[in-house]
Structure 1
Amino acid sequence: MLAQPPLWFVAIAFLCAIGPLVLFHELGHYWVARLFGVGAEQFSIGFGHEVAGWTDKRGTRWKIGWLPLGGYVRFVGDMNPASQADSHADLAPELRSGAFHLRPWWQRFLIVLAGPVANFILAIVIFATFFLAFGMPNTPPVAGGVQSGSTAASIGLVTGDRILSIAGQETASFEDLRRIVSIRPNEEVIIRFEREGSIRSTNARIGTEQRADEFGQTYQIGLLGLMPPEPNFDRMSIFEAVPAATVVTAKITRSIVDVVGQIVMGQRSVKEVGGPLRMAQVAGQQASLGIFDFTYLLALFSINLGFINLLPVPMLDGGHLVFYAAEAIRRRPVSERAQDWAFRGGLALLLALLLFTTVNDLATFGLFERLGRLIG
């Protein structure tokens, strides 16, 4: 078992993880805005008091805030970093042409959408780079063996069976099989498989296994009990690697959606929801394992950041997209009063979620258990 990395290392790793992801996200907004001629007053990585910064020739203030838990681009005419329109702003005529909120709804929609899309693109670039350098894992979804007493054995799977789909999701590779099964411990699913040219299907309850990572932290995983055949890695050109990386990114996003659905439906404990402290710990752990583990984690973090920002919550990009879609349907903007109340509610929700996940993180670290022993 490996020792936990020191706190200073965790802090540096977290900054090295969250900084580039936020930068890439905000650059997505910024570059599409520039494409449409929208002016940017501020580009900030982090919140709060400015630690360092400079102003470019276009008048944009690039700065780094002391609290590195996000970032924003403040466009001409914005009231705040959430890009609410400043109805009291008296814009000079030369600035009105570059004001974000005076642009057509579809331009605003694309500018906001560009942030999450940039995070998905970053993940695709990372995966494509791995595939070019090492090949893409593409082991056939064929049973190389069946573990005695496992779910696979109980439903009659045998060596040589090709798994076609699990829980309605196609298993094009053994890696797909692992991904689908791992997030479904104790879940009832339908498994389709091929044996000697005959396609069959059966119901099965995925098994569960308690595992520990390199740092001794335990977690529960779904287990079918199939052993893989000989691992296979496909060498790729860049024209093959990018589409393959896009498919992998889409599949990981689908897994995130599935896990969120499980939490909402009560199939998973809300205690599994982590926040910034847990992210920092994982970043430090993966960085201590090496650059490849850390870079792979960046791809996963980037996908999560893109997905979370697409949620229809005011204050997030997804909330803005909902307002612009409503504007397109109604052919007039949502009232400022309604937007203001929505943003207030969204802010309260995000703060509550931050508090909840922080408590979860501290519980995961064993803080409350240690306090209980001290009090007792």
Structure 2
Amino acid sequence: MSQSPGLLLTILAFALVLGPLIFLHELGHYLAGRWFGVKIDAFSIGFGRELFGWTDKSGTRWKFSVLPLGGYVKFAGDLNPASVPDPAWLELPPEERARSLQARPVWQRAIIVAAGPVTNFIVAIVILAGMAMAYGVDATPATVGLVQPGSAAAVAGIQTGDRITSLGGRDVATFSDLASFTVMRPNERVAVSLLRNGQPLQIAVTIGALKQKDRFGNESKIGRLGIGPGAPALRKVGLLEAPAAGVRATVEALQGTVDGLGQIITGRRSVEELGGPLRIAKMSGETLSLGTPYLIWFIAMISINLGFINLLPVPLLDGGHLFFYAIEAIRRRPVPPHVQEWAFRGGLAAILALMVTVTFNDLGAFGVWTTLRGLIG
């Protein structure tokens, strides 16, 4: 029987996860903009109509808006909250034009835009560094301690005592590295490099697939080799080593995100696994019900994904702006306004299509479509 954390806990957890991350993301843009002397018209948590806010001495309007699923910083010279350049910025008085985003050199604009996603990665690094100090990091060697009869590993000929050094061409240092790789690749055939009695050996294995259901009723299909480690080992991490541990954990999580997206694009993983705000809210509530450490870890994962998604080269996202800036740096002149306009329209259409898809998937995760089929049937 599945357990539900309840609506109030879900809403609370969602606010705890997404609210601070949106604020910190936009704060990165804001601080970088202020550093380079750009005038900032508005700093908003949420979109749409303003609920309440205030204007500071520098003229920035700080506000909370009716749709809390995001936020923005609107710089002088922006046409809208998506930082689409306003063609009218050239008509501003010289003093105001000099303080607009468009008047900044391309390298400064790139730093201002990249500061949001970079802040998300820094947040994740700090959180994961703290968790490494509190709980240690996995130091269990990728040595096979047991092989389940009939498993994928047994069929491939992997034996107890084998030291796995790489999977699919990716180096493996610890047993958690091994698990992170296989869990994302059910039914995939990969090359395995290992040491057996000190001698290098290469074999191929088709990773097994296991369907599992958690305590909340969420079903997932994961990859499983069917091997176990020897004696588990945790290594303590001190203050000086913690930042490096945080960076490593962030890179590994980012690599998993890229792998998952690549599998969806290539059709190896269902597009139904894409989730949006509703699923994040659901997972936030479930994670909070497991305990505060789980929620803190979940915040780090969402921060990594938020930074990654914003760096995708899609117009309207930070990555789209960076893509245009890269072209501008190469051509030594901005991308023509009409080209940018059509690109932003295409980006908006793509984002809206993605939102429809993930909302459809999210409603499915809540069981809406199953319920409707039952009522119709």
TM band (smaller chain): over 0.9
Kindly indicate whether the alpha-carbon contact (under 8 Å) linking 1:48 and 1:67 is maintained by their aligned counterparts in 2.
Answer: yes
Name the SS of the counterpart of 1:88 in structure 2. Answer: helix
Mapped to 1, the partners of 2:183 and 2:280 lie a distance apart of 20
Cα offset, 1:358, TM superposition: 0.7
Q: How big is each residue's C-alpha offset from its partner over 1:224-272, in whole Å with a ceiling of 9 and x where there is no partner?
A: 1111222222111222111111011111111111111111111111111
Aligned to 1:145: 146
Are residues 1:55 and 2:63 paired?
no
Mapped to 1, the partners of 2:85 and 2:314 lie a distance apart of 17
Cα offset, 1:138, TM superposition: 2.2
Gaps of 5+ in 1: none
Name the SS of the counterpart of 2:300 in structure 1. Answer: helix
Kindly indicate whether the alpha-carbon contact (under 8 Å) linking 1:46 and 1:69 is maintained by their aligned counterparts in 2.
Answer: yes
Cα offset, 1:2, TM superposition: 5.2
Kindly indicate whether the alpha-carbon contact (under 8 Å) linking 1:15 and 1:68 is maintained by their aligned counterparts in 2.
Answer: no
Aligned to 2:18: 18
Aligned to 1:273: 274
Aligned to 2:239: 238
Mapped to 2, the partners of 1:58 and 1:183 lie a distance apart of 49
Mapped to 2, the partners of 1:160 and 1:55 lie a distance apart of 66
TM-score for the superposition, normalised by structure 1: 0.97
Alignment of 1:1-376 (within 5 A): 1=1, 3-89=3-89, 90-376=91-377
Q: How big is each residue's C-alpha offset from its partner over 1:212-232, in whole Å with a ceiling of 9 and x where there is no partner?
A: 112122110000111122222
Name the SS of the counterpart of 1:307 in structure 2. Answer: helix
Kindly indicate whether the alpha-carbon contact (under 8 Å) linking 1:25 and 1:118 is maintained by their aligned counterparts in 2.
Answer: yes
Query: Which residue identity lines up with residue 358 of structure 1 in the other structure?
Result: T
Kindly indicate whether the alpha-carbon contact (under 8 Å) linking 2:44 and 2:62 is maintained by their aligned counterparts in 1.
Answer: yes
Mapped to 2, the partners of 1:300 and 1:189 lie a distance apart of 27
Kindly indicate whether the alpha-carbon contact (under 8 Å) linking 2:189 and 2:207 is maintained by their aligned counterparts in 1.
Answer: yes
Kindly indicate whether the alpha-carbon contact (under 8 Å) linking 2:40 and 2:74 is maintained by their aligned counterparts in 1.
Answer: yes
Name the SS of the counterpart of 1:246 in structure 2. Answer: helix
Mapped to 2, the partners of 1:371 and 1:348 lie a distance apart of 28
Mapped to 2, the partners of 1:333 and 1:119 lie a distance apart of 28
Name the SS of the counterpart of 1:239 in structure 2. Answer: coil
Gaps of 5+ in 2: none
Cα offset, 1:118, TM superposition: 0.8
Mapped to 2, the partners of 1:88 and 1:97 lie a distance apart of 13
Cα offset, 1:66, TM superposition: 1.6
Query: Which residue identity lines up with residue 230 of structure 2 in the other structure?
Result: P
Query: Which residue identity lines up with residue 53 of structure 2 in the other structure?
Result: G
Mapped to 2, the partners of 1:155 and 1:179 lie a distance apart of 20
| Runs ≥4 residues deviating over 4 A | none
Cα offset, 1:71, TM superposition: 0.6
Cα offset, 1:136, TM superposition: 1.5
After superposing the two structures, state which structure 1 stretch, 341-350 or 43-52, moved more.
Answer: 43-52
Mapped to 2, the partners of 1:11 and 1:350 lie a distance apart of 24
Query: Which residue identity lines up with residue 222 of structure 1 in the other structure?
Result: G
Kindly indicate whether the alpha-carbon contact (under 8 Å) linking 1:18 and 1:68 is maintained by their aligned counterparts in 2.
Answer: no
Mapped to 1, the partners of 2:357 and 2:218 lie a distance apart of 21
Mapped to 2, the partners of 1:214 and 1:374 lie a distance apart of 26
Query: Which residue identity lines up with residue 149 of structure 1 in the other structure?
Result: G
Name the SS of the counterpart of 1:172 in structure 2. Answer: coil
Name the SS of the counterpart of 1:244 in structure 2. Answer: helix
Q: How big is each residue's C-alpha offset from its partner over 1:302-343, in whole Å with a ceiling of 9 and x where there is no partner?
A: 111111111110010110011000001111100111111111
Mapped to 2, the partners of 1:244 and 1:4 lie a distance apart of 34
Query: Which residue identity lines up with residue 264 of structure 2 in the other structure?
Result: I
TM-score for the superposition, normalised by structure 2: 0.97
After superposing the two structures, state which structure 1 stretch, 58-67 or 321-330, moved more.
Answer: 58-67
Mapped to 1, the partners of 2:97 and 2:60 lie a distance apart of 16
Kindly indicate whether the alpha-carbon contact (under 8 Å) linking 1:146 and 1:153 is maintained by their aligned counterparts in 2.
Answer: yes
Kindly indicate whether the alpha-carbon contact (under 8 Å) linking 1:29 and 1:113 is maintained by their aligned counterparts in 2.
Answer: yes
